[in-house]
Amino acid sequence: MSKQGSLGHQIEAVFKKVFKPGRSRHQDKAMKRAGQFITGVGDMKTKLADGYRFARFIQQRWSDVRQPEQITPAMALAYHDYLVAHERSGGYIGRIHATLRELDHALRYLRRIPADRPALLPYADEGGPSGYHSEARALFSTNDDVDRLLPILEQRDPACARVLRLAYAAGLRVTEAVYLRAQDIDLGQRTIALKGNVNRTKGGRPRQVEFTEQYSPFMAELQRIGKAQPAGHIFHSRRSLAERTRALLRQVRRELDMPPFTPHAFRKGYAVATYLDSRDAGQTDPEALLHVSHQLGHNRTEVTQHNYVPPWVRDDKKGDE
């Protein structure tokens, strides 16, 4: 072991040096400093936990690696392959990818590795791995999934069911759904205005999302619930509701013998539906991907293309042209 501590401890030290709680990620991206800092407490906790797991994986296979600088792209790819082989969900693998890329950014920012060194984990369009398994499986929720799951969820915990329906109807992340307020919903325009940190958006970025007419009654009911509260919040116990929703979905999914997926699959279901609606409305493939990216709050269409709208969905629409 290095005098600086275990590999996991050193990875933790690297992350702590770029941890700037409260800093605006939205502003950092505008100033082209994206990826240099970790700004959220929850994000930091996740990256530390992921970093220690990755370090244990490395030390079990490459005992001579004692410093983060010694980790190679081949080792990062081996970890990806290990997670795929052990049937980890696409959302979890995507999260690990983000942690490894954050580690790479941090090491470069701290000048512990050369700026021209190959990326620890390239993106898919740069020759790196996709965040999902290559075999056919439930990568996103469909109407059938929703119809099968939600009645059971509503019986056991109506609040959790509403959170997941929000993810499917408007593409909200679980935390964004949990912190939604009545005043954020515009029934006339069929839009939801997320106001950054107030709604716990990723990186504090504000955005406006659309929902279709079929979800207007559901949104009206949410708005009615929120208006009865002093601050307009729709959900109680917000700090625990997100995890409660994940745990309940996992339990019901296993009972129904459904493939592994997380609440994020409902957000992906929204992305696919929005892409298909955009194509049906006459948009080209790049235009539809850009529209979906804006709805999801992504800065790059590549993220939407590789992680949210599967290739076979796009290929089917291209075949219609």
Residue 233, number of CB atoms within 10 A of its CB? 15
Predicted confidence (pLDDT) at residue 31 exceeds the cutoff of 50: no
Round the CA-based radius of gyration of the chain to a whole number and report it: 20
Q: How far is it, in rounded angstroms, from Cα 48 to Cα 42?
A: 10
- pLDDT band for position 144 (50/70/90)? confident
The pLDDT value given to residue 41:
79
Helix, strand or coil, per DSSP, at residue 210: strand
Across 50-66, b (16+ Cβ under 10 Å) vs e yields: bbbebbebbbeebeebb
> Model confidence over 150-159: pLDDT tens digits?
999 999 999 9
**Which pTM value belongs to this model?**
0.61
Mean per-residue pLDDT over the chain, rounded: 86
> Model confidence over 252-262: pLDDT tens digits?
988 988 877 78
Predicted confidence (pLDDT) at residue 203 exceeds the cutoff of 70: yes
Predicted confidence (pLDDT) at residue 2 exceeds the cutoff of 60: no
Residue 125, number of CB atoms within 10 A of its CB? 11
The pLDDT value given to residue 316:
65
Across 90-109, b (16+ Cβ under 10 Å) vs e yields: bbebbbbbbbbbbbbbbbbb
Query: What's the number of CA atoms in the CB half-sphere (13 Å) around residue 9?
Result: 7
Q: DSSP code of 259?
A: P
Residue 263, number of CB atoms within 10 A of its CB? 24
Predicted confidence (pLDDT) at residue 136 exceeds the cutoff of 50: no
The pair of three-digit structure tokens given for residue 276, joined into one six-digit string:
């298909």
